[in-house]
Amino acid sequence: MKKLSAYTVASNCTDLTDIRDGIAEIHEAMKACVESGKRIPSFYVSRLAKLETKKKKLEKRTQVHMTVTIRFFIDDDTFTMAVRHCLFFKLEPTRQNVMRAIRDAVLNNGRSILDFPEAWGEDLMDVSSFDVENAMKKLRPSFGL
């Protein structure tokens, strides 16, 4: 059995690079044990758990929490597709639901969804045009249109 380096002991690791190296070394040692048909020593598992815990703590300290507000303008086609989306998924087409549909579409598909309304999907075209027009007539005043 291969002797593990000092990087596999969490208290010896000072930064994320040391921790990642230690984790990789333990994974390699575990893999070697499995391939040779030997039992994995219990201290491998405990060292790995301690390294993972320390890694999470260090990563949490280095991450920055940020809230971002992005404003953009939409055209009539995007507005129509958002209303279709609400109707397709049986959501009442309210101002809040339409704005949420647009926001979620941008989050999932990027800003290109605003430039290419057809990227919303073919299935939304199954919604009745009459229902869409009625919903849009009701919604236009709430959007200031």
CA distance 73 to 134: 23
Average pLDDT value for the chain: 85
Q: What is the pLDDT of residues 57-107, one digit of tens each?
A: 888 887 777 787 778 788 888 888 899 989 998 899 999 999 998 888 888
> Contact 82/94 with Cβ under 8 angstroms?
no
- Say how many C-beta atoms besides its own lie within 10 A of residue 62's C-beta: 8
How far apart are the C-alpha atoms of 145 and 139, rounded to whole Å? 9
pLDDT digits (tens, 9 = 90+) for 7-23: 788 888 888 888 999 99
